[in-house]
């Protein structure tokens, strides 16, 4: 059967024509391999599967107690595959056309208060090589709202600290310029002139943030650093790199920033993704109203 040929053709399309990141393509591969395994058990190929077969696959996933989010993601991967096969003339119709995605619970993102952010960012000791590096990373992450992969992917020529901007390469290789504040700029300048020179082992290394071996810091390395400072700060909330991203967006909106500007800084393709932060801001308005209004 032609599973591999069809799947590899689709994944090549995602990688080359749509420019999706390696991790995203791998996620598509994993989900579609689960679907292919189901089809093999029924003796069917991708092109032979009907809408009822796809529905049976999704129902089986539900019976395995997979979350609605996972099932929705897998249906999205299957839908993308069939749109590609239809475009290539390998199927006459899209069998996913009238299938609805599982309803997702709308979970509001976790955010830190401005006081908790201040507490977290005060934990690194800028008097040490590692402490100054960590201070610069935390300040930059909160100042820019970048994803952790975007921040750790920065090279030195992506920084324009005199102008107060960072050039960031986001999802789908989309480039954006993000303004950063005076505190983050100052910490980065100090890190680059003091700590990074001591951490760097090879003169041609371009990564901004380096580990003890002089190489680009990894996601796992940063997670460990962040967890350590969160424990040191005794903040009784789960803190992840994305929580800082959520906090960045929420605090901007709470202080009057324009939604479109926040969308641009976060690198969201669709403004509806950014609008979830307005719910958090509206929640704060409700708290203010209830505390301040005499008849609340």
173-212 pLDDT per residue, tens: 678 888 888 999 999 999 999 999 999 999 889 999 999 9
Tell me the torsion sign for CA atoms 132, 125, 250, 22: positive
Same domain, 195 and 238: yes
Neighbours of 58 (CB within 10 A): 21
Residue 190 in any domain: the answer is: yes
Distances in whole angstroms, Cα of residue 276 to Cα of each of 23, 80, 127: 25, 25, 39
What CA–CA distance (Å, rounded) separates 205 from 73?
Answer: 38
Residue 283 in any domain: the answer is: yes
pLDDT at 293: 44
Checking if the pLDDT of 294 tops 70, the result is no
The CATH number for 262's domain is 1.10.443.10
Residues whose CB falls within 8 Å of the CB of residue 257, separated by 6 or more in sequence, listed in order: none
pLDDT at 67: 80
Quote the number of domains for the chain: 2
Q: Is 188 exposed, middle or buried (0-12, 13-18, 19+ CB in 10 A)?
A: buried
Distances in whole angstroms, Cα of residue 83 to Cα of each of 93, 143, 237: 9, 39, 42
Checking if the pLDDT of 289 tops 50, the result is no
Maximum mean pLDDT: which of 3-12, 57-66, 98-107, 126-135: 126-135
Distances in whole angstroms, Cα of residue 176 to Cα of each of 71, 167, 263: 32, 6, 11
The arithmetic mean of pLDDT across residues 245-256, rounded, is 82
pLDDT at 296: 38
Among 19, 52, 87, identify where a domain stops: 87
The arithmetic mean of pLDDT across residues 270-283, rounded, is 61
pLDDT in tens, 212-232: 999 999 989 999 999 999 999
Among 45, 69, 87, identify where a domain stops: 87
Residue 95 in any domain: the answer is: no
Burial 59-77 (b: 16+ CB within 10 A, else e): eebeeeebeeebbbbbbeb
Same domain, 34 and 124: no
Residue 98 in any domain: the answer is: no
Neighbours of 238 (CB within 10 A): 9
The arithmetic mean of pLDDT across residues 36-41, rounded, is 92
Cα Rg of the chain, angstroms:
23
pLDDT at 103: 65
What CA–CA distance (Å, rounded) separates 67 from 102?
Answer: 9
Full residue range of the structural domain in which residue 21 is found = 3-87
Residue 280: band (very low, low, confident or very high) from pLDDT cuts 50, 70, 90: low
Residue 72 in any domain: the answer is: yes
Distances in whole angstroms, Cα of residue 233 to Cα of each of 9, 116, 118, 130, 139: 49, 9, 10, 17, 15
What CA–CA distance (Å, rounded) separates 97 from 99?
Answer: 6
| pTM exceeding the 0.75 threshold for the entire prediction | no
Residue 96 in any domain: the answer is: no
Checking if the pLDDT of 31 tops 90, the result is yes
The arithmetic mean of pLDDT across residues 257-267, rounded, is 76
Same domain, 81 and 156: no
The CATH number for 63's domain is 1.10.150.130
Same domain, 235 and 138: yes
Task: Please state which of the ranges 46-50, 181-185, 252-256 shows the lowest mean pLDDT.
Answer: 252-256
What CA–CA distance (Å, rounded) separates 53 from 20?
Answer: 28
Same domain, 154 and 52: no
What CA–CA distance (Å, rounded) separates 120 from 250?
Answer: 17
Q: Which helix (H) or strand (E) holds 53?
A: helix 51-63
- The backbone region for 74, taken as left when phi is positive above 0, alpha when psi lies in -120 to 50, beta otherwise, is alpha
Same domain, 73 and 141: no
The set of catalytic residues is 147, 171, 242, 245, 268, 277
Residue 92 in any domain: the answer is: no
Checking if the pLDDT of 147 tops 80, the result is yes
Record the tokens describing residue 99, joined without a space. 């299938």
The arithmetic mean of pLDDT across residues 79-103, rounded, is 86
Same domain, 222 and 278: yes
Maximum mean pLDDT: which of 2-16, 53-67, 169-183, 212-226: 212-226
Same domain, 60 and 188: no
The arithmetic mean of pLDDT across residues 1-23, rounded, is 83
């Amino acid at each position: 059967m032609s599973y591999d040929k069809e799947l590899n053709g689709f994944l090549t399309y995602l990688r080359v024509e749509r420019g999706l990141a390696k991790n995203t393509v791998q996620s598509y591969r994993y989900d579609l391999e689960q679907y292919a395994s189901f089809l093999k058990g029924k003796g069917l190929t991708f092109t032979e599967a009907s809408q009822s077969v796809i529905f049976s696959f999704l129902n089986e996933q539900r019976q395995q107690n997979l979350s609605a989010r996972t099932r929705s993601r897998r249906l999205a991967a299957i839908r993308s595959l069939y749109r590609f096969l239809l475009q290539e003339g390998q199927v006459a119709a899209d069998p996913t056309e009238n299938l609805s995605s599982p309803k997702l619970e709308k979970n509001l993102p976790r955010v830190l208060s401005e006081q908790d952010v201040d507490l977290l960012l005060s934990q690194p000791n800028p008097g040490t090589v590692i402490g100054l590096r960590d201070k610069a990373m935390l300040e930059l992450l909160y100042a820019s709202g970048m994803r952790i992969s975007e921040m750790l992917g920065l090279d030195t020529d992506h920084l324009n600290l005199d102008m107060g901007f960072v050039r960031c390469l986001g999802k789908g290789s989309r480039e954006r310029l993000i303004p950063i504040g005076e505190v983050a700029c100052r910490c980065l300048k100090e890190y680059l002139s003091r700590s990074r020179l001591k951490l760097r082992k090879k003169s041609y290394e371009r990564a901004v943030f380096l580990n003890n071996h002089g190489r680009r810091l990894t996601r796992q390395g940063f997670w460990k650093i962040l967890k350590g400072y969160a424990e040191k700060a005794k903040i009784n909330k789960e803190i992840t790199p994305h929580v800082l991203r959520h906090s960045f967006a929420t605090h901007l909106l709470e202080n009057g920033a324009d939604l479109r500007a926040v969308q641009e800084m976060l690198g969201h393709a669709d403004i509806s993704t950014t609008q979830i932060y307005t719910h958090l801001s509206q929640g704060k308005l409700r708290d203010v109203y209830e505390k301040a209004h005499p008849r609340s």
